[in-house]
Structure 1
């Protein structure tokens, strides 16, 4: 049976390159020997370390791979190794049906196709790492098929409603309100919000400079009037010279806007406002979807909405982040 993911990963810390040297400093034969040993023993920690080393040197982003990508692949490798241990699979000489059986086990266990695809990507990366180390030539996930989920992402995981946002704003303190408007009006990813520095906020021009967007792409984002007011209130309390600037535990440099660096801590702060408002907290992404949907219904331009959200492809916006009303053409057709 495929057990639930109960393992706790150590948060990604430090320079990615420094975490890979235990593998890249080895001579080829020793690299191969250790990789073979880790696979033979199904040593999850060692195989995660090997996969991380591969990502840092041969992955698309190399040493600039995001911490979230590293953590997601680490979790996927751990789960696959656990499955291989339970099923007594030979990692170096997998059977012809082993990979597809793994997909079937996840789907039968109730995991959604999108989640399965992510786990397959992580397991596939493990095998690329093993081939890189010279431990095997096997590529069992190359021809694996994962069913497509035809339901649009915005239907499966809808945005917060106008009432949801309004109710939470009424209950939010200065910090939670500022964070809420960064996601639900500026459409920032939580990682982008937490990486903001005071120099990135231009209140006079009402714009934010996002320097750490997905794929290391920067962009300039317009601020709503509500976000502008929330920014001024937050700066007065927590900005340089503010009464709360040096209070509490700070885990980020002083130039950072937020004193905490992780989404887990951000969730702790904002979830209190959601609970007080009686609104279920479903994560930060429904806030981005609220921003995309509201903006699209106002300007009816997927391209401009995609630019606001930092999407490289308009299709990403169309499928998962913004939705026109069902009767959107009603006024346009009224004179026909």
Structure 2
């Protein structure tokens, strides 16, 4: 059996770069860039994020992974196009943007990949390997189509059909995402003490940007919570079909969004509904709530958005004839 070397946590990994003297740090970064050593440049970028990123060590794992993938993809392009990483040409960055658009990638996706490549160059400058900042003035076309149009919410009928085919875990997860509007990461982080079905509240301890908030429960979600607690909370029924269900402290048994996606996708397939991820559930919550309260600010607070524009552009919309009742008698 081959033993893999211990990689350590993110701080330990970052220390392999940050502990170097300036000259050695520069030398290793220059060598990695010259050789287009993907693993070393990814490691350098992650070390930079840990020490110099806006959130430092608290940068979310999803952000780190997204940047890791983006750096790998840019380096693949740079290798194929013989881009000199330390002395990029004036048109290399715009060429990368044009390449991604030509392959069909949407502007929002291009923006994310450019952010990852930009972070790579910040890391190289942090290491003293180059002064280049090739993406500084790059322009990315804006996609004028609202996000909720490109990626619409699940419909009432779709959710009802899936609920008929989902197991208790899947049903409750759908309620939490489609009624409480929680992100999948927020839902999977829930602990039993975070659920207050009597007061119809959910305490999200660490949402996006590490912000806590209290979310109101719908009547049906509160009822579903009581039922789910009776089945799986410590002291309740601990087994179903002879298997242990969920850790004692966490509400859901799913260890990661990928695991949750795998199980929910099976329920969607059984219902004949295309599974489009968990965000369409949040969009269902936002759209339905907006149609009822007609207040983007309150919907944004429910979804945990810092900006109302985020809610307006991607998560909730009013019906096209929403004003018809208000115009009666004009």
Task: Give TM-score, length-normalised by structure 1.
Answer: 0.93
1:81 paired residue number: 75
1:121 paired residue number: 115
d(CA) in 1 for partners of 2:68 and 2:77?
14
User: Is 2:200–2:217's contact at 8 Å kept on the other side of the alignment?
Assistant: yes
**Offset of residue 235 of structure 1:** 1.6
Deviations 1:132-191 (A, max 9, x none): 000000000001111000000000000001111111112222111100011000000000
d(CA) in 2 for partners of 1:259 and 1:166?
23
2:190 paired residue number: 196
User: Is 1:306–1:313's contact at 8 Å kept on the other side of the alignment?
Assistant: yes
d(CA) in 2 for partners of 1:207 and 1:140?
48
User: Is 2:30–2:129's contact at 8 Å kept on the other side of the alignment?
Assistant: yes
The alignment partner of 2:264 has SS state of helix
Aligned with residue 47 of structure 2, among 47, 53, 62? 53
User: Is 1:195–1:261's contact at 8 Å kept on the other side of the alignment?
Assistant: no
User: Is 2:14–2:50's contact at 8 Å kept on the other side of the alignment?
Assistant: yes
d(CA) in 2 for partners of 1:48 and 1:254?
37
User: Is 1:185–1:291's contact at 8 Å kept on the other side of the alignment?
Assistant: yes
**Offset of residue 16 of structure 1:** 2.7
1:265 paired residue number: 259
Aligned with residue 211 of structure 1, among 205, 219, 228? 205
**Offset of residue 248 of structure 1:** 4.8
**Offset of residue 212 of structure 1:** 1.4
Deviations 1:70-103 (A, max 9, x none): 0000000000001111111110110110010000
The alignment partner of 2:49 has SS state of helix
**Offset of residue 229 of structure 1:** 2.0
User: Is 2:181–2:281's contact at 8 Å kept on the other side of the alignment?
Assistant: yes
d(CA) in 1 for partners of 2:153 and 2:275?
11
Instruction: Say whether residues 1:99 and 2:93 are aligned partners.
Output: yes
Q: What is the root-mean-square deviation in Å for CA atoms of aligned residues? A: 1.6
Runs (5+) with no aligned partner, structure 1: 1-12
Aligned residues: 323
Seen in structure 2, the aligned counterparts of structure 1 residues 249 and 20 have a Cα distance that, compared at 3 Å, is farther
d(CA) in 1 for partners of 2:267 and 2:221?
17
Instruction: Say whether residues 1:315 and 2:292 are aligned partners.
Output: no
Instruction: Say whether residues 1:68 and 2:62 are aligned partners.
Output: yes
The alignment partner of 2:326 has SS state of helix
